[in-house]
Amino acid sequence: MKLILTGTVTEESGLTSYIDECKTVVQEKNYDAPEASLCLPTDSELFSKVMDMVQKMKTPRLKYVFVIGIGGSNLGAKAVYDALFGYADVFHPERFPKLFFLDTVDPEFLSSLRDFMEKHIIHEDELVVAIISKSGGTTETIVNAEIVMGQLKDRFPAWEKRCVVITDLHSKLHQEAQRLGIDFLEVPKKVGGRYSVLSPVGLFPLALLGIDIAKLLAGAEEMRERCLEHTKENPAQISSTFLFHHLTMGKNIHDSFFFHPELESLGKWYRQLMGESIGKEGGGITPIVTIGSIDLHSMAQLYLGGPKDKTTEFIYSNKSAEGAIPQEALFPSLNTVSGKSISVVMSAIQEGTSTAYQKQQLPFFEIAFDEVNCFELGSYMQYKMMEIMYLAHLLKINAFDQPQVELYKIETKRILLDE
């Protein structure tokens, strides 16, 4: 992964000592620090626990993995799964195991799921259900779990052997799992949902799918070292400073503009990371996600002709699958690209876009992946988590809490009690 920024960024001296603090957290494997998630890429004990559980659950018959979780409990795994499998999965009906995400509660969706399970899940070994909630008390997750497990219980006597609960040690959910004989993986106490993708929250479902989590962690580790260096090439330092600078100039929107449709879920993962971490005390940046070339046909007019209220990050990869446009055109009067490679055409659209941004003087930087793979995804996610920690530090806010989320939960509870 390479960060490309034209022009210079004012250095923010405030970061130097914070980078050293983060370095100490890593060196001391300090899981009590707010930055505890930085210890995850090299936690071999945790890796072994995840792989042992995968070994136990991965039966030869395994066809479906359900992840029941919402927000920080599923966005990381979904980002990686969609990048590698999910986007074109509809064209691979015979590829197993498949991963399904149950996040919000939707009666129609659940009724379709029930019929599907009855028809397609014949043996309990065909399924693993991962119930993921850091606090252990997320309403939607409990409701989805009750409904799905209720159904399994009616059909399979050893249903609890096909479930894994991933939550804080000693949470109520952990206690219930113990009572029911359901397996358990721990989320380290100080690792919050939006920083938990490299904990069992993300690693267990991905590894169960056969995704190489060792490479994901290796990418994260390499990036962590790069983001702890005092050099001008430190990616997290560069982009956090860039975002800080432009936020003080009034740019209140940041656009993650992916030239890979399969990375849309990665954008949604970052949306939570940025939104929840720095959206507080009346300040913050609204993260949006744009997919090239699709959204050029819906949003380019606004971006190029509308208000200059955004910073943009273009994400693309240097290597894509091979594929050529047929030499012999069906529509010769329209086709100016016959015989060309598809990736040459798509690269031209991406470069054309950034050139247009440059000419309109819209601030942006670029992230070039070598290709979309586990290592690069691990790199990118680790980079972003550190970028956000650094940005919060520059803004002098706490990157790890989310106090206002309670506001709607309190109202919801009151309404439910009044029913």
Selecting among 297, 322, 328, 419, the annotated active-site residue is 297
Contact 293, 349 (CB under 8 A): yes
Q: How far is the CB of 385 from its own copies (least distance, A)?
A: 15
Calculate Rg over the CA atoms of the chain: 23
Binders of its own copies in range 48-87 (CB under 8 A): 70-72, 75, 87
Count of residues that bind its own copies according to CB under 8 A: 128
Residue 390: helix, strand or coil by DSSP?
Answer: helix
Binders of its own copies in range 246-305 (CB under 8 A): 252-253, 260-262, 268, 271-272, 275-276, 279-284, 286, 288, 291-294, 296-305
Binders of its own copies in range 388-407 (CB under 8 A): 402-405, 407
Contact 212, 58 (CB under 8 A): no
Q: How far is the CB of 31 from its own copies (least distance, A)?
A: 24
DSSP per-residue letters across 330-343: SSTTT-S-TTSBHH
Which one, 42 or 279, has the nearer CB to its own copies?
A: 279
Among 6, 24, 61, 100, binds its own copies (CB under 8 A): 100
Residue whose C-alpha is closest to residue 314's, from 336, 339, 334, 296? 296
Give the separation between CA 379 and CA 1, rounded to whole angstroms.
7
Rounded to 10 deg, the angle between the 235-248 and 213-227 helix axes is: 70
Q: How far is the CB of 307 from its own copies (least distance, A)?
A: 6
Torsion, CA 342, CA 371, CA 193, CA 47, rounded to 10: 140
CB atoms within 10 A of CB 84: 19
Which one, 6 or 27, has the nearer CB to its own copies?
A: 6
* 189 DSSP assignment: T
Give the separation between CA 115 and CA 138, rounded to whole angstroms.
25
Binders of its own copies in range 224-243 (CB under 8 A): none
Binders of its own copies in range 122-141 (CB under 8 A): 136-140
Instruction: Write down the residue that tokens 């010769």 correspond to.
Output: 332
Which one, 237 or 290, has the nearer CB to its own copies?
A: 290
Which one, 169 or 405, has the nearer CB to its own copies?
A: 405
Give the separation between CA 303 and CA 309, rounded to whole angstroms.
9
Give the separation between CA 22 and CA 18, rounded to whole angstroms.
6
Residue 30: helix, strand or coil by DSSP?
Answer: coil
**Site string (304-333) toward its own copies, x via CB under 8 A:** xxxxxxx---------xxxx-xx-xxxxxx
32: contact with its own copies by CB under 8 A: no
**CA 265 to the chain's CA centroid:** 6
Residue whose C-alpha is closest to residue 72's, from 141, 145, 164? 141
363: contact with its own copies by CB under 8 A: no
Selecting among 276, 313, 366, 387, the annotated active-site residue is 276
Task: Tell me whether residue 409 is one of the annotated catalytic residues.
Answer: yes
Selecting among 2, 29, 230, 409, the annotated active-site residue is 409
Task: Tell me whether residue 260 is one of the annotated catalytic residues.
Answer: no
Among 145, 198, 206, 381, binds its own copies (CB under 8 A): 145
* 2-4 and 364-369 strand pairing: antiparallel
Task: Tell me whether residue 170 is one of the annotated catalytic residues.
Answer: no
Among 17, 45, 359, 361, binds its own copies (CB under 8 A): 359
Q: How far is the CB of 375 from its own copies (least distance, A)?
A: 18
Which one, 13 or 321, has the nearer CB to its own copies?
A: 321
Among 111, 178, 248, 318, binds its own copies (CB under 8 A): 111
Which one, 110 or 214, has the nearer CB to its own copies?
A: 110
Give the separation between CA 42 and CA 217, rounded to whole angstroms.
7
Q: How far is the CB of 360 from its own copies (least distance, A)?
A: 7
106: contact with its own copies by CB under 8 A: yes
**CA 36 to the chain's CA centroid:** 18
220: contact with its own copies by CB under 8 A: no
Q: How far is the CB of 77 from its own copies (least distance, A)?
A: 14
Q: Give every strand in the sheet of 364-369, ordered side by side.
A: 2-4, 364-369, 310-317, 253-258, 286-291
Q: Which residues are catalytic?
A: 276, 297, 409
